[in-house]
Structure formats: structure tokens, C-alpha cells
Structure 1
Amino acid sequence: MLRLSELKLPLDHSPEAIEAVILKRLRIPPSQLINHRLVKRSIDARRHERIQFIYSADVKVRGEAALLKRHAGNQKIRKAPDTRYYPVAQAPTDFPQVETQRPVVVGAGPCGYFAALLLAQMGFKPLLLERGQSIKKRTLETFAFWRGQRPFNPDSNAQFGEGGAGTFSDGKLYSQVSDPEHYGRKVLEELVASGANPEILTVHRPHIGTYKLATVVRGMRARIEELGGEIRFETRVDELLLRRDLDHSRTGKPLQVVGLKLADGSTISSRHVLFALGHSARDSFAMLERVGVKLEAKPFSVGLRIEHPQPLIDRARWGPMVGHPQLGHAEYKLVHHARNGRSVYSFCMCPGGVVVGATSQADCVVTNGMSQHTRNERNANSALVVNLEHQDLCSYERWPGDPLAGVALQRDLERRAFQLGGGGYCAPAQRQEDFQAGRPTTCLGEVIPSYLPGITLVDLNQMLPAPLIEALREALPAFARRLPGYEHPDAVLTGVETRTSSPVRIPRDNSFESLNTTGLIPAGEGAGYAGGILSAGIDGIRAAEALAKQLVVAQSSA
């Protein structure tokens, strides 16, 4: 197969045009082309008067070797990569002979689910533990909380429960992580096999949407269980049980995992635990620190969420082509480097979406964005966040280098937001024009905020540290120069956005194992190694492979 890239066609091209542009690129007659398969489709909107589709395709031809030689040096024509997945291990048919060798995965977010699926596909029959509820119960309870119909549940909410934090999001499936093994393709193919739309295999910036994600999550659960895996919901891990290894000359690690203690007081024995925590598992971070697992602080960002009318964003991105049926609602990605040294950037942009309450702790307010697959709500929303520096964390450190200082800062900002919102989980909000002028907002304009349970109009300048406010104020007009209309006076800013990524990293070695704890494999977003559904799924696969190799060695020596 050959991989052809940058095949350009107008928005209104016919289906036959793809084959025609392939033939033109290769300079071959139709008889030489056997078949082709689209592998990527993106949109080039740099020139509003000439928006185009950009395709990549895998092409099977007669005389491939001669064609490659003829087009040598053309980077747009090359050998197609092999994106098939090859398992690294296979469990013995009688696995497990020893109960403590059964792998346990903690956390049913994308990292945990992909790790469990891979382990199950290799025959290791994993046990998956999730503190929150199954997707149906979790969705009903979370939506009822947003509507003020049920109290907040600290163990099952927008952060915790089957599917993880990404379940209540736009379901974005793209990432900037390096992926030479093409594990991202494996993630997308497994999502399609579990119920996702096959279009995610080809579109440049695929997304699933909240309601569709629920279907996909249930499909993944069923496949894990069919392969012998076991999933237990509403099962919180309260302690990682460790044994101190007095003679650790072989491993160099003073601690060894021996099991888990659950919230109901029961224990599970295992010497192989994969911790796929979410970025909001603060009690788990504190527990790991308490039992001696090595942690370290990790950089992250905080800020606000901004809402504009979706048609404004569409006009800014598509120009005169706005409304074209092939385009749909527009997205954006913006970055500004402020004069005070901070970087302001858009994050988790949700076209045609809503702003939602994403706290995982009582009496705190956290914002996030969510879209359905249709992206048909009236507003576009995105986080606008600013990087934190050490000076922002100093007052939250219990000692120099405190790994949980970021958690303390997040909690403080979220409690401030709760108080500014007046309680009841209402969020503090402000018109953009008032935010820039440093005055409280007294009434809304054209943009009606979507956040539930509701908003309270305030002055957000008193909520975030001064350097972050300064950087945000500078960035907004800079963004408007790139995206006309962005500085709409009635655009609504809602606070606070703190869960951009984990503030903690659980460092691991080249075998994916904790630096000081044998048998513990930290993975995913909460461990500091991912930042979204796709990258978390990729890290789950890699972590599962590392664990599978350990299990094969342990089984052979049992």
C-alpha cells in the first residue's frame, strides 16, 4: 500500500473526485489502481474564499515498487505504515494459578478501560475497580445534580464513575502525543468496535459527544466481560497495601504491592496493580503519599471558561462559506504569550456545547465544557487558562517541593468560586467587557450562559491571582485580532477552570513501574502521563503491555 497525503479538493467535490486526484498525483491510468481507503480528512480554512478538504489515502496499485522509485523524494507519496496492533504477550491457558497474580486495574476512565480491555484480549482476566457508578446511574445522578434535583455525590459525579471525566465532555479524540507505534489507531478502532461512529477513523479532529460516549463505554464494558474480565462499580480503593522489601537489591525498590483495602473494609490480594486514576483523585494522591509511594508536583494551568454565540465563531472561521453543510460548527485553538511571561491558551473548546459543573468535592465549584455529537446548542465555549509558576504555589506548600501543593491551590480556588457563586453550586460569572474594565457585572447582554445549576454575576478579578488576571486581560484582545468578534462585550466568562490536567505525577521507570514500588504501574491522566481521551487510552495500552510482560515472568516463576 502507498500513503498519499495532502490531496486537496473543494468542499462540493463529487465522490469520484477522490479517485481522480489520486490518479493525477500518481500519474497512472485507472487500470493500474486496485483500490483506495481514506485515512484522514481535514479542513483548510486559511483562505475563506477557498476552503478545501485535505485528504490522506492508502492506495493499492499494480507496480508499486516502480511507482515508489519514480516518485522517490516526494514526501506526499510514501510506503503506507503498518497500523495493525500486535499483542506483546499471551496469558497461559491456565492463568492465573496464583490468586495474587491476577492483575487489578483501578479506575474506569479511558486509561483504565483500555488497559483492562488489552489485558482481557491477551487472556489475563483483569479485575477493574471503579469508585463511581455505572454509566446509566452516573448520568442520571449527575444531570439531576446539575438541575438541582439531587445532592452532590462525592463518589459519582462529572469526574468519577464509569467512563471517567471525559464522559461529560465533547469526547475529543485527538492528541499531540508522539505515537510511533500507531496505538492511537488501535484506540479509535476499539471505540468503533464498541459503538462509535466509523467517521472517527478518518476525520482530522474526531469527537464522539456525551450521549454517544455513554453507548461506547457500555460497549467496552461488555467486551471486557465477554473476555473474562470483571468490573466492580461503587468500589472505592481506600489504601494501597504494601510490604517493605528489606532486601531490595534486585529491584532497587523498597516497597512491594501486596493488595488493596476497599472502603467497605475488605481487601483484595494482588502483586500487580495498575493505577489509572483521574486527574481529580485527590484522596488517592494523599493516600499514596501517606503509604510512601513517590509523588512529584507537575505543571498545570487554571483559568475561566468563555461562552460566545456559536454563529459568531462560525463567521470568524468560515467567512462567506458559513452555513455550508459540509462544514458544521467551527472550532478554534488560540495561544497568547503575555508580557508578564505567562502563556494563555484555549483548552477543551466545545462547539455548540454547554458549560457544566465538574466538581468532585463538596462546597467547590469547577467548570468544564460538554457537547453532544450534533453540537447544536446556541453557544460555543472554551476554557481560557494560564500556566502556573512556582511562585503561585509557594504559599500552598507544606515543605519545599510539596507534591500536593497544586491540589491545595486548586481546592482554594474552587472554594472561592463556590463562595462567590453564593452557594448552591452556582458559578460566578461576568460579561467580558466588565471583566476587562474591572467592574462587577449587574446584568447580562446577548449571550445567555448555559451553566447549571446557574450563575451569579460578580467581579471575577477578585478570584484568580493577579498575574493570571493580567495575562487574560491582555490575551482577549489579542485573540480578537485572530478571530474577529472574539472580544464580544457580552461574551460570558464563568469560573473557575482548574482541572485542565493533573497537578501530580506518579513517576515511573522504563518498565512503567513506580520508581519505588514494585508491582505498581501508574498510568493515565491522574498519574501525569496523559491529557485527554486519546492519550489516556494510548497510555492505558502501553501500561497494560508492561503489566502483561510482568505477569508472564511472574507466572513462569510461580
Structure 2
Amino acid sequence: MIRLTELRLPIDHAPEALEQAILKRLHLEPKDLMGFTVFKRSYDARKNVALSLIYTVDVSIKDEEALLQKYSGDQHVRISPDTSYHFVTNASQAHPIDRPVVIGFGPCGIFAALVLAQMGFKPIVLERGKAVRERTQDTWGLWRKKILNPESNVQFGEGGAGTFSDGKLWTQVKDPKFYGRKVLAEFVKAGAPEEILYVAKPHIGTFRLVGVVEKMRQEIIELGGEIRFQQKVNGFVITHDQIQAVQIEGQPDLPASHVILALGHSARDTFQALHDAGVYMEAKPFSIGFRIEHPQSLIDKARLGPHAGNPLIGAADYKLVHHAKNGRSVYSFCMCPGGTVVAATSEPNRVVTNGMSQYSRNERNANAGIVVGITPDDYPGGPLAGIEFQRALESKAFELGGSTYEAPGQLVGDFLAGKASTEFASVLPSYKPGVHLTDLASSLPDYCIEAIREAIPAFEKQIPGFSLKDAVLTGVETRTSSPLRITRGANYQSMNIKGLYPAGEGAGYAGGIMSAGIDGIKVAEALALDYQAK
């Protein structure tokens, strides 16, 4: 097939206009066009008064060779690349000596286990939390009743932290082998909307993700894999720099020579167990800040102008960066159009915020993290020092919120003026179990407060209304990514422990559903090939 890129059409074009545009662009007669499929559809909002859709299409014609020769100098007319997934091996070729073990059943663990199962390796998955529907009930327990289950919450359980998020399915990681296409295709096979295969910024939404995750789990089981819930890993048996077994709380040791560490960024006790076992790891940069909420209508108008509310585009998002005078970078993180701010702690007496959207993205507020980059120089003390840094901020937020799991909050106007807020105005926060108004200045280090106070007015220049005095800041956002990296080599194994495969967000190699899924596939392939080499 022929791939045609940068095909622009008006936002309100008729359905038949796309085929007409293909014929016109390639100077074809209708009889010469055998068919086409949309590979990608995005929109250009830089000039919102002339908003246009941008298509990439794969076209089938009668004489592709002649067409390619005719347009040999046109970079927008090329042979369509092969985006199908090809397994690197299978169990009958590799002859595994035992069953691979996957620790964690978030996006990375799901795709690692799925690909291993599809290759015939029958993985055993250990997930400390519960199945997704039981986990959802426990999560609502914190949001509605202020009751936290430390082993079943936004962070822990089937689907990982990504289940309670916007379900964003895009990433900026380089993907020359089209692993991302495999991720999207598996989601669609499990019930996600087919549009995620071609829209520029696909998302599923929390409620739809629940059913999708269940179907993927079922496929793994049907292929011979096992998913063992409420199996908390608390140690590792390592001899002669080789993983031998996994220690599980209340269970016999599970022998294993090949273990994928698909941990989430909040698996703090497991990080400690790995450190105690001598697994090499190092502190890494991450970011901290607040959630900010505006009316979604304000963001739509600023970003889309007269096209605000167009159902084809949906709720508008944004991506912002500011380099502050004190040397800190401030940026928007995990922007959730038409969503809610959620309680995301996994430890008692701590407050953590995150953002979430449903597929419809039709809640009244837009929210995003406004976060500041920090480095290990800000929290010296070794590979686990970032965890203690996070914990101190989360405990402080718990206190500022009234020690009831309510989050501390402040109106943007008051935050910029340096005074405590006492009542909400036109923007009502969405965070459950509630927001306690206060002064957020003491909730983060001074350099963060200074940088955010400088950044918000700067963002106003890009999005009119961003510094709306009634907008609400909610603290604290501390778990933007893992505070450490479990370092691995070119073979995807730990730098110093054979058979141990650090993967995904918790290990410091991903940031979001898509990149975690891609990393899970890569690590599964490396593990399978290691079996084959033995």
C-alpha cells in the first residue's frame, strides 16, 4: 500500500471529501483507487480560526510501482511501513526450564505477561492488589468514606495506576518497531474503541479500561498463564548474582530464574526489599507540584476559539513549559480534559493527588499537574532518598488538609498573592474526599513555590484565563514518576543480578500507559530470547 501524509481537510468536511482529496492529491481516477484506511487523524489548532484535520492514509491502487516512481521526490508519498507485530520466538523453540514470573499487573506487567503467553511461555503473574472490580470498590472507599486500603487503591491492583487516569494512549518515546501499534491493537481486541488506532491522542477512560483489562487477563489465562492476586512480594533469593526465587508474604518461596519487575512507581516496600537484596539501583530526577483546576469551557475557548465544543475534537488539552528565573523548570503534567482530581495515596496518613478522566471527558473542570523538576541533588542520601522526600511532602499535605485525607487547597489568586484561601468562588474542586482551604506555601520547598508563582502568569500568555483567580490548586502531586531507576543493561537484565528484568514505570523506564506497555513487550522479548539462548 501507499502511505499519503499531510492531507488537510476542513474540520467540517463531508465523509466523501477524504476520498476526493486522495484522488485529487494523487491525480487518480476513481477506478484506480481500490481502497484506503485512515492510519492517523490529528488537528492543527495553531490558527484556531482555520482549524483543519490532518490525515495520514494508507491507499491501495492498481499500479503502486508507477505511482511511487511518479512521486519519488515527494516525501509525503511513500510505501506504507509494516506495522504488524512479529514474535521473536516461541516456547517450543526456546525450551524454557521454568515458568517466567511477572511481578505487577499494571500496563507493563499486562503486556509483558500477554506477549509471553502469546509466545507459549505460560507466565505466573504476582499482583499485590486485587482484581480490578474489587479494587475499584476499595478505591471508592477512600474517595467516599476516607477509608484507605494500603494494598488495594489507586496505585495497587489489577491495571495499575493507569486504570485510574485519563487512559491516555500516546507517548513521545521513539518506536521504530511499532510496538505501540501492538499495544493499541490489543486494547481494541479487548474492547477499546477502534478510533484509538488512528486519532492523534487516543484515550480510553477509566470505566472502559476496567472491562478491557479484564479481557486481557482472560486471554493470558486461556493461553496457560496464571494471575495470582493479593500476592505481595517481600523478598528475593539471590545466589551467585542469579535470581533463584521470589519470596511472597504468607506463601512458600516461588522458584524462578527469570523475573520481570513490572513494579509501579509507588511500590516503595518492594524497592526496599530489592535494595536489601543488593540489586543495583540509583536515584533519578522526578517532579513535584500541585493539581490545578479550571473550567473546561475556559480551556476550550482558549485553545479552540470558535471551534470550542466541536464533538469531533472534544475537550481541549494543553501542554505548557516555563523555565523559571531560579533555574527550575515548571511544566504541565498528565493533563486531564473534562476530568477530576483524585486521591492517589497508597500509605496511611498521607495525601497524594493525581488526575483522571472518563472516555466522555465531560466533567465541568479541566485539571493538570503543575510540577517542578527536581534532581537527586535536592534529596541526597542514596537510591531510596527520593522516597523519603516524597513521604515527607505527603505527610505535610495530610496535616495541611486537616488530617482526614482531605487535600490542602488554595485559590490561584490567593496563592499568587501569598495569602490563605477561606472560601471557594466560581471554580469548585473535584477532589474527593474533599479539599480543605489553606495556604499551600509550606507544602513544597520554597524553590518550587517560587517557580510555580512565576510560571502561572507566564502560562496566562499562552492560555488566556490560566491565572484565573478562582481557579483551584490542590496539593500535593509527588508521584509523577519513579524516584529511582533499577538500572539494566543492553540485555534488559539488572546490571548485577542475572535473570532479573527491571521494567516499566517503577523501574524508571516508562511514564504512562503506552510507554509502560511498550517496555513490557520489549522486556518480554528479551526474556524469551534468553531462554532460547540457554
Give yes or no for TM over 0.5: yes
What is the rounded CA distance, in whole Å, between the counterparts of 2:184 and 2:94 in structure 1? Answer: 31
CA offsets per residue over residues 345-392 of structure 1, 9 Å max, x none?
A: 111111111000001111110000011101111100000001003442
Name which of 470, 489, 511 aligns with 1:531: 511
CA offsets per residue over residues 414-441 of structure 1, 9 Å max, x none?
A: 0110011111111000000000011000
What is the rounded CA distance, in whole Å, between the counterparts of 2:309 and 2:521 in structure 1? Answer: 40
Q: Given residue 260 of structure 2, which amino acid in structure 1 is its aligned partner? A: L
Name which of 467, 481, 487 aligns with 1:501: 481
Q: Given residue 31 of structure 2, which amino acid in structure 1 is its aligned partner? A: S
Equivalent positions of 1:158-177 (< 5 A) are 158-177=154-173
State the secondary structure of the residue aligned to 1:279.
coil
Counterpart in 1 of 2:246?
260
Counterpart in 2 of 1:91?
91
Counterpart in 2 of 1:358?
344
Counterpart in 2 of 1:22?
22
How far off is 1:94 after superposition?
11
CA offsets per residue over residues 243-299 of structure 1, 9 Å max, x none?
A: 1x2xxxxxxxxx110011101142100111111000111111111110100001111
Q: Is the 8 A contact 1:128 1:232 kept in 2?
A: yes
Q: 1:391 to 1:102 in 2, by over 3 A?
A: closer
Counterpart in 2 of 1:389?
375
CA offsets per residue over residues 310-362 of structure 1, 9 Å max, x none?
A: 11111111112222232221111111111111111111111111000001111
Counterpart in 1 of 2:415?
435
What is the rounded CA distance, in whole Å, between the counterparts of 1:220 and 1:134 in structure 2? Answer: 12
How far off is 1:66 after superposition?
1.6
What is the rounded CA distance, in whole Å, between the counterparts of 1:57 and 1:131 in structure 2? Answer: 43
Name which of 121, 124, 138 aligns with 2:121: 124
How far off is 1:551 after superposition?
1.7
Counterpart in 1 of 2:274?
288
Counterpart in 2 of 1:156?
152
C-alpha RMSD over aligned residues:
1.2
What is the rounded CA distance, in whole Å, between the counterparts of 1:416 and 1:386 in structure 2? Answer: 18
Structure 1 segments, 4+ long, off by >3 Å, are 93-96
What is the rounded CA distance, in whole Å, between the counterparts of 2:475 and 2:341 in structure 1? Answer: 10
Counterpart in 2 of 1:453?
433
Q: Is the 8 A contact 1:95 1:124 kept in 2?
A: no
Q: Is the 8 A contact 2:350 2:394 kept in 1?
A: yes
How far off is 1:510 after superposition?
0.8
Is 1:222 the counterpart of 2:208 in the alignment? no
Counterpart in 2 of 1:513?
493
Identity, % of aligned pairs? 57
Is 1:185 the counterpart of 2:181 in the alignment? yes
Counterpart in 1 of 2:233?
237
State the secondary structure of the residue aligned to 1:259.
strand
CA offsets per residue over residues 453-494 of structure 1, 9 Å max, x none?
A: 111111111111111111111110111110111111000000
Q: How many residues align?
A: 534
How far off is 1:552 after superposition?
2.1
How far off is 1:144 after superposition?
2.0
Gaps of 5+ in 2: none
Counterpart in 1 of 2:50?
50
Name which of 306, 312, 337 aligns with 2:323: 337
Q: Is the 8 A contact 2:376 2:386 kept in 1?
A: no
Name which of 400, 403, 409 aligns with 1:423: 403
How far off is 1:77 after superposition?
1.1
State the secondary structure of the residue aligned to 1:382.
strand
Counterpart in 1 of 2:291?
305
Instruction: Select between 178-187 and 320-329 the one with higher mean Cα deviation.
Output: 320-329
TM-score (ref. length: structure 1)? 0.94
What is the rounded CA distance, in whole Å, between the counterparts of 1:76 and 1:93 in structure 2? Answer: 41
Q: Is the 8 A contact 1:306 1:383 kept in 2?
A: yes
Is 1:411 the counterpart of 2:391 in the alignment? yes
Counterpart in 2 of 1:471?
451
Is 1:279 the counterpart of 2:303 in the alignment? no
What is the rounded CA distance, in whole Å, between the counterparts of 1:505 and 1:82 in structure 2? Answer: 33
How far off is 1:95 after superposition?
5.7
